[in-house]
Each structure stands twice: as structure tokens, then as C-alpha cells.
Amino acid sequence: YQRRVRGTTFAPMVFRAVLFGAARHGGRRIPLVLTPALRRCMVTRVDLSDDEWRGKLSQQQYAILREKGTERPGTGELNGLYPTEGHFACAGCDSPLYSSASKFDSGCGWPAFDQCYENAVDTRIDSNFGMERIEIICAACDGHLGHVFGGEKFTTTNERHCVNSVSIKYVPESRPEPSNEGPILGRKR
């Protein structure tokens, strides 16, 4: 779909904005606002059927990543792992999510991170159990990672991504592409 706005075709303007961070219209620079739909376009999506996910994941991984379960605190094998190099990727689709440098010990019983790779993690409101929390999911496959909390002052980002060990895996190699990291709370959506 292309819409004409004062002699400018809208679709190429959006394409330029995605490539260069802004578009020009009538001599003015128009900043790009990344909506969730645009952000998903910038991530390689992994869309599998329920049967394909069941075949790919272990029973525990399926229960947590696809059915939004939670492992018991202190039981995850990645909880006490603090490597100096490498990154953590989604256990479902292998998309890089967190650098090793962003992992810290929060004492919560699950792996904790204070920031994520840009466009790697999305948020949703989780209203289960009579409370409202912010769920974090893999932006590529929508796999449930855990929840994000703010205002606890554990780190300078003032954010704690509380992630199920089963939802992620450690990759000893550095992330191959440029890896901008930052907090997710307060990010314009």
C-alpha cells in the first residue's frame, strides 16, 4: 500500500526511515518512530506450528517458552553462570538476546540481566495471578523469557530482566553483528 502525501510516496519514505533512522519530507527531517509492527519487521521472525515447537523443544522448554510457565527459583543451570565473554540466546530460536556483560547477581533465584540487545526483546502486560507485571518475550519467536522489573536500583539501568534459565542458552562466541544494548523499560513503542 502506497499513499501519496504532498507529492511524496509514503512507502519509500518509511523504507528510507527504517534504513537511515529518519525520512525527509518537504525539506524537513521526520524522525522514525519504531512501532511494535515496524520493530518486528527488523527481526528475522521464527514462526513454527505448535507441533513443530513440540518437536523442537524439550517438555520443560515448551512449558516455559510456549505456555508461559516458570521454573522454580534457584534450580536453573544458568543462574550461577557469569561468563566474561559471549552472549545469551533464545533457547527456542537461537536469536541473541543478552550480552554476558549485562548479566548480574540479583539474588532472585533466576538469571538477571540489566539490558538487552536492541530489538531482541519485546514486552507485554501480564495480568495473571491478580497482579500486573511486564512480561518479556523473544522478539523473533514470541517465546516467554520471564518478567522485567524497574526501580530496584540494582544497576545503573535500574532494570532487572528476571529470565528463566530454560528460556535461554549460553553461547561462548561474541554476537557476530553490531550489538547495541540498552534498557527496555521506558523505550518508545
* Residues labelled catalytic: 162
Residue with cell 541473541: 96
Q: In which region does residue 92 sit, left (phi positive, over 0), alpha (psi from -120 to 50) or beta (all else)?
A: alpha
Relative to beta strand 112-113, strand 159-163 is antiparallel
How is residue 86 annotated by DSSP? -
Question: Each residue of 7-29: b (16+ CB within 10 Å) or e?
Answer: eeeeeebbeebeeeeebeeeeee
